A and B are shown apart, each in its own frame.
Chain A
Amino acid sequence: MLSARERERYKRQLILFGDEGQERLKKAHIFIAGAGGLGSPVSIYLAVAGVGTLTVVDKDVVDQTNLNRQILHYDKDIGKKKTESAEEKLIAWNPDITIRVIDTTIDAGNVGKLIGRADGIVDAMDNYPTRYLLNDTAHTKKIPFFHGAIRGFYGQATTIIPEKTACLRCIFPCAPPQEVFPVVGVTPGVIGTIQATEVLKYLLGTGDLLANRLLIWDGMAMHTEEIRVEQNPACPTCGAKVNPPETKRSQKREKNDN
Chain B
Amino acid sequence: MTIKVRFFARFRELLGTDIIVTSQEGTHLLTVVKKIAEKSQDGYDAIFDAKGNFREFVIVMQNGKRVETATAGSVPVTDGDEIAVFPPVAGG
Contact = CB atoms under 8 A, between A and B. Distances in A.
B45 to A, nearest CB: 13
A176 B61 contact: no
Contact of B90 (A39, A151, A227): A151
Nearest to A155: B89
A218 B18 CA distance: 14
Contacts of A16: none
A94 to B, nearest CB: 23
Contact of B91 (A39, A149, A174): A149
Interface of A: 34, 36-39, 123-128, 148-152, 154-156, 171-172, 174-179, 181, 183, 188, 216, 218, 220-221, 225, 227-230, 232
Contact of B88 (A123, A149, A220, A225): A149
A128 B87 CA distance: 13
Interface residues of B, number: 20
A152 to B, nearest CB: 8
Interface stretch (B7-15, B20-28, B30-38, B71-79): B7-15
Contacts, number: 79
A40 B58 CA distance: 29
A38 B9 contact: no
Interface in B62-92: 64-66, 84, 86-92
A221 B8 CA distance: 10
Given A225-B8, A232-B66, A150 B89 contact: yes
